[in-house]
Amino acid sequence: MTLDSLTPLFASAVAAAIPLLLAALGELITERSGVLNLGVEGMMLMGGVTAFIVVAHGGGLTLATIAACCAGMIAALMFAFVTLTLQASQVAAGLALAILGSGVSAFLGRGYVGNPAKVSFSELPIPLLSKLPIVGPALFSMNALGYLAVILTVATTWFLYRTKSGLILRSVGESPVVAQSLGLQVIRLRYLATLFGGLMAGLAGCYYAVAQFKMWQEGLTSGNGWIALALVVFASWRPVRLMLGALLFGGVTAFGLYLQAVGVQVSAFALASLPYIATVVVLAVISRDQRALRRNAPASLGQSFFGM
């Protein structure tokens, strides 16, 4: 492996990391409020199909992005209503959302399979910086959504640890009972956090449909919504670690592609399974230390709260 070949490898790692980072950031905020939404995959697919349909009908990229965010939020709203207002189990409702999202997206996208996206996000190289060896093309020649992901990571960190609202959000996730006794509107905050998760998942889906693959097919996101969920655990609910984790997972995907490109005799199917196996291994390793995990996880994660 020469230094030159590292450049495209790193670039494709970053490209694969961006949607994971976007979706995981949203889920991180959702989970910090104590809500476990397992339906990321479904919300991503909804966002993806919506963005693709908008573009296919002549809409611009801005409109497609906004529409994708709205689609993700509508899906999240359904989840929020069922779990937060109607007190359903978050695990079961998350699964339902994943199934429903894949069904609805397949249904809506039926006429668009096989067509390339009419417009798509293009790279925006930053002068000078993008000419840096190895990291230049990867980090300073991303598309708009890539830069947005980096900005949002910083913004999320700042929000969680440096603002009053962030403190409130975290306290709701730690102990909704105490938060409510302090006069905080637990359910409303959880609704907002869940909607943000939907927005970000929609954005991630948009990235797959009109930035990375530039096409639509059933199950376009191929399990990355679930990987994003694992990523939040891996990052122990911290945004900056999330960025590192996303790069790691993106790197695994890119490494598989790289091996194929240089003609290593490994089955393509074995390489395609690398990200999933990596997720399992990482989950197993990170979960070994239960005490650390419990210290980091929002204490009320996944539990219903009846606060009316």
Binding site for other proteins (CB under 8 A): 38, 42, 78, 81-82, 86-89, 91-93, 95-97, 99-104, 106-107, 110, 183, 185, 187-188, 218, 222-223, 226-227, 229-230, 233, 267, 269-270, 272-273, 276-277, 279-280, 283-285, 287-288, 290, 293, 306, 308
CA 280/CA 249 separation, integer angstroms? 12
| Closer residue to other proteins, CB minimum distance, 108 or 135 | 108
Minimum CB separation of residue 80 from other proteins in Å reads 12
Q: How far is the CB of 226 from other proteins (least distance, A)?
A: 5
Nearer to other proteins, 60 or 111 (CB): 111
Token pair in block for residue 281: 């291994």
The closest alpha carbon to 122, from 209, 211, 48, 53, belongs to: 211
**Least distance to other proteins from the beta carbon of 146, Å?**
25
Residue 108 or 144 having the CB closest to other proteins: 108
Which residue, 154 or 281, is less far from other proteins as judged by CB?
281
- CB burial readout 120-151, b (16+ within 10 A) else e: bbeeeeeeeebeeeeebbbbbbbbebbebbee
Rounded to the nearest whole angstrom, what is the least distance from the CB of residue 224 to other proteins in the complex?
10
Measured at the CA of 222, the angle between CA 150 and CA 283, to 5 degrees, comes to 70
Contacts for 276 with CB less than 8 Å, ≥ 6 apart: 223, 227
Nearer to other proteins, 129 or 285 (CB): 285
220 contacts 208 by C-beta, under 8 angstroms:
yes
